[in-house]
A and B are shown apart, each in its own frame.
Chain A
Amino acid sequence: MGGLARSWSVALQGVDGTVVEIEAAIGGGLPGIHLVGLPDAALHESRDRVRAAVVNSGRHWPNERIVLALSPATLRKAGSGFDLALACAVLAASGTIPQGALHRTALLGELALDGRLRAIRGVLPCLLAARTAGLRRVVVPVAALAEASLVAGLEVHGAGSLAQVVEFLVEGTPLTAPDAVGEAGAPPSPPDLADVVGQSDARHALEVAAAGGHHLLMVGPPGTGKTMLAQRIVGLLPDLPPDDALALAAIRSVAGRLPADGLLSTVPPFVAPHHSTSAAALVGGGSGVARPGAVSLAHRGVLFLDECAEFGPRLLESLRTPLEEGEVRLSRAEGTVTYPARFQLVLAANPCPCAPAHDRDCVCTSLVRRRYLGRLSGPLLDRVDLRCRMHPVTALTSGEQGESTAMVRARVLAARAAATERWAAHGWRTNAEVPGPVLRSRFALSRDALRPLEAGLRAGELTARGADRALRVSWTVADLAGLDRPDRQTVETALYFRDRRAA
């Protein structure tokens, strides 16, 4: 009595999933399980888990030679997420489950020896791949149900054990249905911008950064509000559109960092790694297949490097490619994965190691001072559009109360809307994404407006790339001011934030 059956599951490479067809053939030799199709160690061990789980679920395990083939055979498959699909393929081949019941159904989950279904990482990207491949329904561990319900257009079922899945497939006993996707309740309101005392320059820089998606560097003595300001940038940014929110949730799912409530968060992420972080934690890494790092977890949000001069130069340099390309490619033993990493960089640093409240009290030698911020390399700083110097706070209550987050956010959203409308035809969303050549040719400014840039280039204070960045910032300043296109004054404002003396 030979049997042949098929089931489906999904293999992940980074955040990209591939639907895997699992074939089970029974018969023709001594009893045993043979797993073929480039399984890794964890997957190879699933032979033992699957058998124990089936037997302990009270189902018949065919005492014959079983060949399990995972196709496409050349794709490396890793992890324990195939257990459920393997078990069901065997049960279908031995006649316990009708073959038709598995049709166009993706099965995900790791099996415990007693037949319980355990959660796995990366369910969300798996489902996105299953939907793209045209699968109709999926069975996931109950623990991953909230996450799975984020994907529209798929029939999602949550199961607690193999026995439940078999009953569902054989008799149609319903499994746990996902709760109707609730709109994310009002997220805890981020700290308010009005809390920051003084610092009008830095507040303006923060507003421009939020409006144009520009990278920002703040330099100033400790206790002047660099960290406070940086934490408040998230409140100024617009909510993530659904596509981006889903892409971010997929990254978090792969990293095992998705919140348990399963609501799709549309708040832009704010990631602030400590300066002792490793390169692998920052850009992604790990053995086998690389896992996403801080730059990917900050996708479409803010990566904040506090005390950035304390980060090793290697770490800072490793940010250059993701900054430029909006993604990181990580190559490890088992292949290359690409994670999206389009983040906004916010850097904060002290002007020198001793960092007194007033710069004139500094006791560092000039060499130490130069070295300290010298760790931020030219190529990295060239990518930072906005630089601002923080001033020591001289009064606890400044005369005027600073603007609140809500007021600034309204201006930022208006400016973003103007930018999006202008670039819509070209596929860019923020001023920071527009390539320099376009700004110099198709959207060229008047001769008069360009004069400050020409002067800077001639004097050697600006690089060509720096001039492009200043152009970009000037568009944002113009958007915030409600102007059609930048004039001379907006370009000068942009250059003020570029001034090398700030760093």
Chain B
Amino acid sequence: MAAKDVLGRRGEDVAAEYLEKQGLVVLDRNWRCREGELDIIATGSAGLVVCEVKTRSGTAFGEPAEAVTDRKIARIRRVTQAWLAAHGLPWCAVRFDVLAIVIEPGRPATIQHYREAF
């Protein structure tokens, strides 16, 4: 596993823990299909929450959330449809969140939660 993937994995662990603390139930993680991958799919009182987790080890190259581009947003929407279809779910309210996580070496991770980011 490459270093960036280790970091990403750790970020996703931190994110899942954070979401569960918020009272959400994580249904699925790293769900893949031909179109791409969803990082975290959770559910709560508000309906389905699709989470994109972006982790960086520093902000020298910009904030993590800035890396969520229009193309990525479009892909997440497509993959979400595939997920809904794969699980045979009817129409339901879906919220898209972005979790920007910065894990600097030797420091606790900081989490920035963008609710309804797109």
Q: Name A's B-contacting residues (CB within 8 A).
A: 29-32, 63
Report the Cα distance A428→B114, complex, angstroms.
Answer: 66
Say yes or no for B101: interface residue by CB 8 A criterion: no
Residue of B nearest to A63 (CB): B63
Report A60 CB to chain B, min CB distance, Å.
13
Chain B residues near A31: list those with CB within 8 A: 63, 65-66
Say yes or no for B85: interface residue by CB 8 A criterion: no
Say yes or no for B98: interface residue by CB 8 A criterion: yes
Report the Cα distance A63→B117, complex, angstroms.
Answer: 13
Say yes or no for B68: interface residue by CB 8 A criterion: yes
What is the number of residues of chain B that contact chain A, defined by CB distance less than 8 Å? 10
Q: Mark B95-118, 1 if CB is under 8 A from A, else 0.
A: 000100000000000001010111
Q: Name B's A-contacting residues (CB within 8 A).
A: 63, 65-66, 68, 98, 112, 114, 116-118
Question: Is A32 touching B118 in the complex (CB atoms < 8 A)?
Answer: no
Interface centre among A29, A30, A31, A63 (most CB of B within 10 A): A30
Report the Cα distance A500→B66, complex, angstroms.
Answer: 75
Q: How many A-B residue pairs have CB under 8 A?
A: 18
* 6 tightest Cβ-Cβ pairs between the two chains A and B: A30-B117, A31-B65, A63-B63, A31-B66, A30-B65, A30-B68
Residue in B66, B112, B116 whose CB lies within 8 Å of A32 = B66
Main secondary structure of the interface of A (DSSP, over half): loop
Report the Cα distance A29→B68, complex, angstroms.
Answer: 11
Question: Is A29 touching B114 in the complex (CB atoms < 8 A)?
Answer: yes
Report the Cα distance A31→B66, complex, angstroms.
Answer: 6
Chain B residues near A63: list those with CB within 8 A: 63, 65, 112
Question: Is B118 touching A29 in the complex (CB atoms < 8 A)?
Answer: yes
Report the Cα distance A83→B63, complex, angstroms.
Answer: 23
Chain B residues near A29: list those with CB within 8 A: 114, 116-118
Report A48 CB to chain B, min CB distance, Å.
12
Q: What are 18 contact pairs spanning A and B, CB under 8 A?
A: A29-B114, A29-B116, A29-B117, A29-B118, A30-B65, A30-B66, A30-B68, A30-B98, A30-B114, A30-B117, A30-B118, A31-B63, A31-B65, A31-B66, A32-B66, A63-B63, A63-B65, A63-B112
Report the Cα distance A31→B62, complex, angstroms.
Answer: 11
Chain A residues near B98: list those with CB within 8 A: 30
Report the Cα distance A29→B98, complex, angstroms.
Answer: 9
Residue of A nearest to B117 (CB): A30
Residue of A nearest to B112 (CB): A63
Chain A residues near B117: list those with CB within 8 A: 29-30
Chain B residues near A30: list those with CB within 8 A: 65-66, 68, 98, 114, 117-118
Chain A residues near B114: list those with CB within 8 A: 29-30
Report the Cα distance A32→B114, complex, angstroms.
Answer: 13
Chain B residues near A32: list those with CB within 8 A: 66
Chain A residues near B112: list those with CB within 8 A: 63
Residue of B nearest to A32 (CB): B66
Report A30 CB to chain B, min CB distance, Å.
5
Report the Cα distance A399→B66, complex, angstroms.
Answer: 86
